Amino acid sequence: MLCDLCHKNTATVHLTEIINGKIMELHICHECAHLRADEFKHQLNIAEFLGGVTVRESREDDSDSLCCPFCGINFDDFKKKGLLGCARCYTAFGHRLIAIIKKIHGTLYYRGKISPAVSEEVILDKKLADLRKRLERSVQIEAYEEAADIRDKIKELEKRIKLRGSKT
């Protein structure tokens, strides 16, 4: 994949921004990322974000001394650094991590990525399934304008799939 900015080098930095449910992706090379580093300095730090997300959980639980029995890291350290100490921290902080993961990703399940070697048909089918899930969520939260946009994208994608199927 080529850099979205210079269109010359291979993209090695991948940025995803989600604002009001709209996903914006930027794929840039190392050189462009380095040149534009100042633009990204003011982006949210993951440790700051996790600290903000977990403040409410901490107050609800009142167990700020929660600590991993294996590595000794406490939950406050995790909030500050954004890093766990070991694999067993997932068990020690389980219920709090689940809330954070749901808040950040919207789900607890990894949907995976598709290899570039996979056929376009599989990629289109995955996009269609993702759009249908987004449509369902939009209707559930009564975001009808967004749902209408997604519905239109689904129709376009279904036409593309149908045309692709008739060519083979």
- Count Cα neighbours of 46 within 13 Å in the Cβ-side half-sphere: 8
d(CA 16, CA 24): 6
Residue 59's identity, in one-letter code, is R
- Say if residues 66 and 75 touch (Cβ distance below 8 Å): yes
- Residue 13, helix vs strand vs coil: strand
pLDDT tens for the chain, residues 1 to 168: 888 888 899 888 877 766 666 677 778 888 887 777 666 655 545 444 444 544 444 444 444 568 899 899 988 888 888 888 898 888 888 888 888 877 776 666 666 665 665 567 777 888 899 999 999 999 999 989 999 999 999 999 999 888 877 765
- Say if residues 91 and 82 touch (Cβ distance below 8 Å): no
| Extents of the domains making up the chain | 1-43, 46-105, 120-167
